[in-house]
Copies of this chain bind each other. A is one copy, B any other.
Amino acid sequence: MKITGPIVLPAAAVLATNPLLPRQSNVTDYNSAPPNLTTLGNASLFETWRPRAHFLPAYGSIGDPCMHYTDPSTGLFHVGYLHEGASGATTSDLVTYTDLNPNSEPFIRAGGINDHVAVFDGSVIEKGINGTPTLLYTSVNYLPIQWTIRYTKGSETQSLAVATDGGRNFTKLEHGPVIPSPPFAYNVTGFRDPYVFQNPNFDQMLESSNGTWYTIISGGIHGEGPSLFLYRQYEQDPYFENWEFLGQWWSEEANSTWTEAGWAGRWGFNFEVGNLFALDSNGYNAEGEVFVTLGAEWSYKPIVPQVSDNREMLWAAGSHKFVDGNLQFVPSMAGRLDAGRSAYAAAGKHLPASSQAGQSSGAPDRFISYLWLTGDFYGTLDFPTTQQNWSGSLLLPRELSVGYINVVDNALAWEKGSWRVDSQNDNGILTLATLRQQIAREPLAAFQQNATNSTTQSGGSISSSRTFDRSPRSKHYMMTASISFTTRTNDDLKAGFSILSGPNENTNIYYQFSNESLIIDRSNSSAVSATTSGINTDNESGKFRLFDVPTANGTSIETLNLTIVVDGGVVEVHANDRFAVSTWVWSWYEDSTDVGFFVEGGEVEFGEVKIWEGLVDAWPGRNSTS
């Protein structure tokens, strides 16, 4: 998602052009009720909700992650994001990062001939023109752009830039866009975010030379629906100046959905930020199963031009067929990559085993994806951004792979959902396949190894909420826990944890079978919401199924395994390596640090809960005051 319409971010706009604001009147009292935060001085809230272990610029707003790549000459992984153009940082371990430029200044800025008004997402061919990392990005010359309005011809084109100075700058090539328009006479809703990839199966199916580069471009067609447009590097032109349109690789009917049951949100009207890659059970494998992550834009009725916009961060996997000579994708399963409504615009990249991170951890070829967590709900919240002097963050990097689960062969497994039946065994057991997603192994390990304080809370059968014996002293920690349910038919039952809680505030994270959802109840999460606009406390909710699984002596409901990361205002909840819901919790009080069991309407069995406090400073090279 880019700021593509008249929806403006007054504060963020200031941030986008100003350097780090001087901290003013930093005497905020977190032990009494908050004032209206907009009365506070510039940057006075800089530390209040700032995450420590997450990826975000030194100051200012972060937009979509994009343009990641491993520099073949250094093995460093470059993580990019929209920020005054696009900026980035390098990492050798996915734990700590080094800004490419001081103050997170961008490696590419808008304002060239092809991109007067904006640089939108792009992706990098690692060994591109003259063997140099080469960026294919959306160059924007006209705004507004939104699927709800008539498309301005030529507003989005795809252009090239090449890395100089180790990627600290990407220099735009002195020629026009290499994809100068959508396909002829396509009345598009959007046409952006080119995602380049190589794929030997595509080469074979499309009779391309080995190693041909492809790109998908995300968008849609007015009156038809969202779409991913497929292009191929033409005749292996070493300058990547010509891309051949190969049809709509994937299109869905407007306002349709994978399933109305809600396993995969809505396809909506326009796709954005599509990534196309292939996975196996170990991670990235170009010969593996084809997956897509994508953002979908839609609206409740009535659709209000330039205003209506709901977003879904989805994934899908599937197979191919040829229709009228065009290669088309047929989804076999689809789901939400993150159920948090502020989590969007995931951008991933193949991280090879040969990268520095891969060599250090011994990880195989991986596909690493970063999601954006917007800090002001896509510019619609009047958040006190000037006081905070930053907005938004990326979520922790995730490793994606194909996950398999053995489940009982029953209706729960056969429903059309965010999984597919991979195989049917003789003994009444099904193997389901789905997208496995886990916090990348390095930060997961680092949070444990570097904990300044780690505690264990024993579990047991619990039927009422209570605070842990020892809670964290800060708002930066990771916890792991498990919950076993004995029945799925108790609609009153809610079980999980309270976090960031105290006498004045609390946030509850729980699962309930009534709608098979994992919920983050933020309704009492922030005292600030009473004094200051832009502090959203709506609940987050994501549909997640616990299957029936075989056990030694029969069957049981699959255990809910949670990994929760609290990092300043960022809360990530991961479940069973296949579900995530992330959000902001803007707790105010210094004593809102309690963690506890949360149970209502029944009894569940909690496993041991572990808490690792402290996390890791992801930006050791920055001149931090925290």
Chain A contact residues, CB within 8 Å of chain B? 113-114, 116, 141-142, 152-155, 157, 174-178, 180-181, 184-185, 234-235, 241-242, 244-245
Contact = CB atoms under 8 A, between A and B. Distances in A.
A153 B141 contact: no
A403 to B, nearest CB: 41
Nearest 10 Cβ contacts at the A-B interface: A154-B176, A180-B180, A153-B175, A180-B181, A152-B175, A153-B241, A113-B141, A153-B176, A185-B242, A154-B175
A184 B245 contact: yes
Contacts of A185: 234-235, 242, 244
Contact of A180 (B142, B154, B175): B154
A230 to B, nearest CB: 14
The winner among A174, A178, A180, A244 for most chain B CB atoms within 10 A is A180
29 contacts: A113-B141, A113-B142, A141-B176, A142-B175, A142-B176, A152-B174, A152-B175, A152-B176, A153-B176, A153-B177, A153-B178, A153-B241, A154-B175, A154-B176, A154-B177, A155-B175, A155-B176, A157-B180, A176-B181, A177-B180, A180-B181, A181-B181, A184-B234, A184-B242, A184-B244, A184-B245, A185-B234, A185-B235, A185-B242
Contacts of A244: 184-185
A240 B600 CA distance: 64
A490 to B, nearest CB: 58
Nearest to A174: B142
A209 to B, nearest CB: 15
A157 B176 contact: yes
A544 to B, nearest CB: 44
Nearest to A142: B175
A617 B145 CA distance: 53
Contacts of A242: 184-185
Contacts of A184: 234, 242, 244-245
Contacts of A113: 116, 141-142
Contacts of A177: 153-154, 180
A113, A114, A244 interface centre (most CB from chain B within 10 Å)? A113
A155 B114 CA distance: 11
A178 B241 CA distance: 20
Contacts of A114: 154
A244 B153 CA distance: 15
Nearest to A243: B184
Given A142-B175, A152-B176, A153-B176, 11 more contacts: A113-B142, A153-B177, A153-B241, A154-B175, A154-B176, A155-B176, A176-B181, A180-B180, A184-B245, A185-B242, A185-B244
Interface centre among A141, A142, A153 (most CB of B within 10 A): A153
Contacts of A157: 176, 180
Contacts of A181: 176, 180-181
A388 B178 CA distance: 44
A182 to B, nearest CB: 10
A177 B113 CA distance: 13
A244 B185 CA distance: 8
A155 B184 CA distance: 19
A116 B242 CA distance: 23
A286 B157 CA distance: 38
A169 to B, nearest CB: 21
A175 B157 CA distance: 12
Contacts of A176: 141-142, 152-155, 157, 181
Nearest to A239: B153
A244 B184 CA distance: 7
Contacts of A175: 142, 152-155
Nearest to A187: B242
A116 B177 CA distance: 14
For A116, A141, A176, A245, which residue has the most chain B Cβ atoms within 10 angstroms?
A: A176
Contacts of A235: 185
Nearest to A178: B153
A140 to B, nearest CB: 10
Contacts of A116: 113
Contacts of A153: 175-178, 241
A242 to B, nearest CB: 5
Nearest to A245: B184
A175 B176 CA distance: 16
Contacts of A178: 153
A153 B160 CA distance: 11
A516 to B, nearest CB: 47
Nearest to A156: B176
A155 B175 CA distance: 7
A483 to B, nearest CB: 55
A121 B157 CA distance: 24
A178 B176 CA distance: 15
Contacts of A245: 184
Contacts of A141: 113, 176
Contacts of A142: 113, 174-176
A206 to B, nearest CB: 16
Contacts of A154: 114, 175-177, 180
A245 B141 CA distance: 24
A419 B493 CA distance: 95
Contacts of A155: 175-176
A178 B177 CA distance: 14
A308 to B, nearest CB: 23
Nearest to A117: B113
A116 B113 CA distance: 7
A333 to B, nearest CB: 35
